[in-house]
Structure 1
Amino acid sequence: MSSTYGKIFKVATFGESHGIGIGVVLEGCPAGIEFDTDFIQHELTRRKPGQSRITTQRREADEFEVLSGVFEGKTTGTPIALVIRNQDQRSKDYSHISTQFRPSHADYTYQIKYGARDYRGGGRSSARETAARVAAGAVAKLLLKKLGVTVQAYVSQVGKIKLENDYSTLSLEQAEENAVRCPDPVIAQQMFDYIDTIRKQGDSVGGVVSCVIQGSPAGLGEPVFDKLHAELGKAMLSINAVKGFEYGSGFDGVEKLGSEHNDEFYTDENGRVRTKTNHSGGVQGGISNGEDIYFKVAFKPVATIMQDQESLNEKGEKVIVQGKGRHDPCVVPRAVPIVEAMAALVMADFYLRQKANQL
C-alpha cells in the first residue's frame, strides 16, 4: 500500500477510521521552522467533523500530539511525528455491512486486492485519513509562509449552484465566514439550503473546490514526468471522492484560438517578467512562471446515503444495503482545508527539490 508522498518533503500517513488513531510522519522538513501549534490545530479544526448540520455528526476534537521532531517551538530537521487519537468511533454502525459491498465504496476493490478489509467506516479508505494530511499540510504552510507563498481554497460549486466570479474579484477570506466555505455570502446561503434539503432526503450531492496559490517563485516543477501541474493533479486525485482536476483555462481553453489563449510576456515596473493574461494557470512547460497558480477539484456525491440500495455480498448474493451511520451529505465544505494541505505539500516539496537544481 502506498502511504507515502513527496521526494524531499515527505509524508507518510497511518491509521484507520475506527482504530486507536491516525497520524503522520513528516521527513525532510528543514530545521528552524517555527512550529505554530495553534495554527496547526486551527487547520485541523477547519476539517474536523460536526461543524454544522450539513456535515457528519461524528464528534472528534481532532487534537494532535507531537511525538518527535520539535524542540523549544522549532523543527529540528529530524522526522516529525504527529498523532490524532480517535474518540467517537461507533463500529457497531457498520456491523450490518461486514460482508456487504456498499455501492461506489472501496469495499469490493479492497477485498479483491488484499483479501481482507476493515469494514468499520471503510478503514484505511475512509476520509478520516485526510486529517493526517491536513496536519502535515499545516507544517508545509508554515514553511511556505517564510517564502511569502499562500494557499487559499474555497467552494465554487455545489450541485448546479455555481459561483461564476473569478477568484481575483472575490474576497476569499470571506469563505471562512460561513459553513459552506463559499466567499459569496448570497451564493453560500443557497448552497447551504440546498445541501440541507438533500440531507433531509437521505441523499448526497457533489461540488467543486477551487484553489489559488499566490506568491510562488518561478522555476518550481520537475519535467518531464514530475511537472508541477501533473503533481498537483496527482495530489488532488489522491483525495477521497475526487473525480476531476483542471488547472488554468482547463477544458474551457479548447474553445479559444491560440492567438486568444497565449499569455504574452512583459516586464513590470519592478523589472519582473510577467504575463498579460494567465490562461496557463501559473504553469508553463510543467514549471511555475511566478503568476498565480489556480485550479479546480471536482468531488462526487458522497457514496454513503441514508437510503436502501441494491448490492452484493461477499458470496455474490443480492442484498439490500441499508443507509446507516454519520456521514456528510456534501463533502466539499470540509474538503477545502484538505485541498489546501495537499497543494501546500506539493509546493513545499518542489521548493526544496528546486534548491538542489542549481549550485
Structure 2
Amino acid sequence: MRPIRRGDQGAAVLEIRGILAGMSLAVDKPDDAAQFTDDMERGVRAFQQSRGLSVDGEVGDETWRALLAAQWHLGARTLYHAVPDAITGDDVRQLQERLLEMGYDVGRADGVYGPRTARAVAQFQREVGLTPDGACGPQTLHALRRLGRKVVGGAPLRLREEQVFQAYGPVLVGRQIVIDPGHGSADDPGVTVPEGPLRWSEADLAYDLAARLEGRLAACGMRVHLTRGPNPPAEVSSLQRAQLANDLGADLLISIHLDGHKNPEADGVAAFHYGTDNGVTSTMGERLAGLVLREIVARTGLRNCQVHAKSWDVLKLTRMPAVRVDIGYLTSPSDRERLTDPRFRDRVVEAIVAAVQRMYYPVDADVLTGSIDVSALRAELAR
C-alpha cells in the first residue's frame, strides 16, 4: 500500500492514532483525530525506533504490520497454528520467548505462530499433562505462568544455531545462499543520484554487486539464488524475498543495499541482523553481519558504521541467519566515486565471499580479517 504519512486523513489514520495512544506515543488530542498530524509522526518515529524499523515517520507495510502486532499481549486471545495465514503479534513473540526460556525449540522468536511454535507448545502440554493440541489457551497459559525457567545460564537458541554450522564443517560446496539485491522495479529504484550525464540508482548497483557475488560464490561450490532479476516487472516485497529463502531451505541470506542521506558528508558501510529491543537476537546472523562488515572495511577502507539489530521483515521472517549490508552512501561524493568503479565493487564482493567462508570456520579456527585469499579458494576447488 502507499505509505500513510503526515497530512493524510481517514479511518486508517484514526486506527493508527488509537494504537499509538494505547502505547502513550501520540499525546496530542486534535479536533480532527483522523488527521495525520505532527504529533502522530513523532509517535510513529518513536514506535519505529523502539521496534528496530526504518525511522521515517511514515506507516508503510512493515510499520503497519508491527502496529497491528503491538495491540496483542499474551493472554488476550487463544493462539494456534492457522493455515495459510499464521497468527502474528506481540503475544506470539512473548509466548515464544517464554518457551525458549524453558528450553523448548521454537526457532527464532519472530512473533509468527508457525508449525515449530505449535510443536513446542504441544511438547510442553504433553509434559504438564494437558491435551497436546498445540494451541495456547487459558489452561496452557496458566501452566506456563506456574512454572519457572528450565534453562539456567547460556542461550539455547545460540547453542542450536552454532551446532548446525559446526555440523556443516568449513566446506562451502553444496551450501545454499540467497543473495537479495534491494529494490529493483521501475517504481522502486531506491536511492538515486544524478552524476553528469549518468543517473546512478541503488537498485542497479545492488544488482551488479549481487550478480558479481553470485559468480564468485558459485565458483566456490555454493548453490546461489537471487531474489530478483535486473529489471523485475513489479516490486518484490520483503515478505516475498523472505519466503523465497525459506522455501529454498537456504543456509544464509545476504541482502545488499546502498544508502543515502540529505547530508552529503554521511558515508560508510553498516551491517544489520535480526534483533529486538528486549534482547532477542539471531546469534549467527549477528556473527555473519560482523564478519561481512569487518571484511569490507578492511579491504575497501569504507568508514565503519558498525553492526546494528533491526526487525525488518527480510531479517525477522527468514529461518536462516540473514544480514543486510548497506554498502556506502550514493549521496556521498567520495563513496559514489568508489561505488561506481567496477574494480571497487569487485573488492566488496571478495570481502563478502571471505566473510561467508569464515562463517563456516569454527570460532577457535577463525583467521584474521582480510587474510583470506578469495582467488585461492576458487583455485583450490578447481583442483
TM range (shorter): under 0.3
So what's the TM-score if we normalise by structure 2? Answer: 0.26
So what's the TM-score if we normalise by structure 1? Answer: 0.27
Give the number of the structure whose alpha-carbon radius of gyration is greater.
2
